[in-house]
Structure 1
Amino acid sequence: MPILIDSHTHFDDVSFDGDRDAAYQRARAAGVEAQVLAAVSARLWPKLRAVAARYPGLYPSYGLHPAYLAEHRPEHLDALADWVVREKPTAIGEIGLDYYLPDLDAGAQAEYFTGQLRLARRHDLPVIIHARHAVDQVIKYLRRFAGVRGVVHSFSGSEAQARRLLDLDFLLGFGGPLTYSRATRLRGLIRYLPLDGFILETDSPDQPASAHPGQRNEPAFLPEVLACVAELRGADPTEVAAATSANARRLFGIPDAVPSGSH
């Protein structure tokens, strides 16, 4: 069974509160050896920390998600700086820009985004970026913060945008949306990307694969994303799993061997 890393989950989400132990065991049984947990707001950082501490192979990141703008306060950037120093997270995230949701102020989003990019550069940490209807704007900011590395998760941009991000030494994250036959642009893109340019994710509990429409997504479904990528590329799933897991380990500093079992 291929060893996989789910590079983007919200395993601390309330939807897992009733069966988190079982969902964790299902993921391990499916070959998902590690998960990177992405935060959304300062209010939820303590719960994310507790969930990550409970299960081997869960790696916390902390950040201020643009879609939760109404919850954020300027002092949360100072709090994040303290959390980074004290907790030594795997990454800063989930951060970024969201121009899809109509009520999110673009200027305020930019303030939080640049503040977190600055923090990532200061501490040499990767970033996990949300870029919905905002890929060009995200690229513009990344060029201002040269040297910051990371992943644009759930990438949905064009081939030209993908190339620009790869040139900036960013990885692209792909998950459930790729498995839908209507995602023609994404499916065309994944055929030609270099194997060292992308990683796999579920974004659990969101963005389920085509086999689970309307259901809660979970890390155990990551092999379905792997199978889709391998089929589209005409590649051996084991090769794709090895490459994407190596990419995730390299970006996030995840060790080669993750302990088994749970605390």
Structure 2
Amino acid sequence: MNTLYDTHCHIDFQAFDEDREQVLEAAAEAGVERFMVPGVSAEQWPRLQQLVNQFASWRFALGLHPWFIQQHNLNHLQELEQALDTPHERLRAVGEVGLDATCDNSELQRELFIEQLKLAKNYRLPVIIHHRKTLETTHPLVKQYGPEQGVIHAFSGSYEQAMKFVDCGYKLGVGGVITYTRAQKTRQAIAKVPLSALVLETDSPDMPICGHQGERNEPARIAKVLSVLAELRKVDKDSLSEALWKNSCELFNEAQPASNDHVSG
């Protein structure tokens, strides 16, 4: 079985409160050994950390997501810095942060994004970046303020856009988008960029794969993303999953051996 790392999933969200352990068991059966669970708001961070302590296979990040911009203020940056000052062996990144053209308060978004990039750089942590219609405005800020490592979550741009971030040392999150044949631009980009720049993700409970539209997404479905990626790149799944596992561990500065720790900690 392929060993997989879901590098972006929100399995702390209420959508999983009724059956979280069963979802994690199904993921383990599909080969998912580790999960990166990003923070989205200061209000959410304490609950996220409580859940992380229950599940040994979880890693986590802390950040202020632009979707929740109405909940954020500049004081939360101080709270974030205090949290980053408190060592936790499974706190592996700053995120989910970024810019979203469909959300309000673009000036506050920008200020929070820049300051969080600076924090990630100061603490030598990778950054998990959300974007929506903002790839072109995100890139120069990453180049100017960002840490040496990071991931562009749910990458959905062109090959040229992809390589701008790859050239900065960043990885691209590959999820359900590539399972849709209509996503030609992104599929072509993901097929061409260096394999060392790719990691798998689901964004559960969001971004369902093709054939499961309207359903809650789950980490177990990352196995389908792996299959489609293997087809697009014309490689076998075993060597691909091995490379992607290595990429994911490098991204989050982790030891590589599979943990087999999907049960409650």
TM-score (norm 1): 0.96
Q: What is the aligned partner in structure 2 of residue 81 from structure 1?
A: 81
Change (3 A) 1:253 1:146: closer
Alpha-carbon distance between aligned partners in 2 of 1:108 and 1:34, rounded to the nearest angstrom: 33
Contact 1:94–1:129 (CA under 8 A) maintained in structure 2 = yes
- Take 1:147 and 1:77, find their aligned partners in 2: how far apart are those partners? 17
Shift of 1:211: 2.6
The question of 1:257 aligning with 2:258 is answered yes
| Residue 22 of structure 1 pairs with residue 22 of structure 2 | yes
Residue in 2 that maps onto 1:92: 94
Partner of 1:54: 54
The reply on whether 1:137 has 2:131 as its aligned counterpart is: no
Q: Which residue of 1 aligns with 2:211?
A: 211
Distance 1:146 1:74 in 2: 19
Residue in 2 that maps onto 1:230: 230
Q: Give the distance between the partners of 2:87 and 2:222, measured in 1 at CA.
A: 28
User: 1:28, CA displacement in angstroms?
Assistant: 0.8
The CA distance in 1 between the partners of 2:111 and 2:22, in whole Å, is 39
In structure 2, the gaps of 5 or more residues are none
In structure 2, C-alpha distance between the alignment counterparts of 1:228 and 1:83, rounded to whole Å: 38
Q: In the TM superposition, what are the counterparts of 1:1-263 in structure 2 within 5 Å?
A: 1-88=1-88, 89-99=91-101, 101=102, 103-145=103-145, 147-255=147-255, 256-260=257-261, 261-263=263-265
Offset of residue 259 of structure 1? 4.3
- Is 1:120–1:148's contact at 8 Å kept on the other side of the alignment? no
1:52 shift after superposition? 1.4
Following TM superposition, the consecutive aligned residue runs of length 4 or more in structure 1 with deviations greater than 3 angstroms are none
Give 3-state SS (helix, strand or coil) of 1:8's partner: coil
The question of whether the paired residues in 1 share the 8 Å contact of 2:6 and 2:222 is answered with yes
Partner SS for 1:34: strand
**1:219: how far off?**
0.5
- For residues 259 and 3 of structure 1, what CA distance do their matches in structure 2 show? 10
For the Cα contact (< 8 Å) 2:129–2:150, is it kept in 1? yes
1:2–1:238 contact (8 Å) kept in structure 2: yes
The letter of the residue matching 1:248 is: S
Shift of 1:158: 1.5
User: How many correspondences in the alignment?
Assistant: 261
| Whole-angstrom distance in 1 between the partners of 2:5 and 2:97 | 20
Deviations 1:123-156 (A, max 9, x none): 0000000011001111010111254320000001
Alpha-carbon separation, structure 2, partners of 1:95 and 1:159: 23
**1: distance between equivalents of 2:159 and 2:258?**
34
SS of residue paired to 2:7: strand
CA deviation vs aligned residue, 1:32-90 (integer Å, no higher than 9, x gap) = 00000011111000111111111121001000001110000111000000111114411
Task: For residue 187 of structure 1, give the secondary structure of its aligned residue in structure 2.
Answer: helix
Q: Structure 2: how far apart are the matches of 1:147 and 1:224?
A: 31
Amino acid at match of 1:251: L
Cα pair 1:176 1:208 within 8 Å, conserved:
yes
Task: Output the CA distance in 1 between the equivalents of 2:218 and 2:33.
Answer: 14
Q: Secondary structure at the match of 2:86?
A: helix
Distance in 2 separating the partners of 1:24 and 1:147:
31
Structure 1: gaps of 5 or more residues:
none
| Greater alpha carbon shift after TM alignment, 250-259 vs 135-144 | 250-259
Instruction: Summarize deviations over 1:192-235 as a string: whole Å, max 9, x none.
Output: 11110110000000001113111000111110000000011111
CA distance in 2, matches of 1:35, 1:161: 27
3-state SS in 2 of match to 1:54: coil
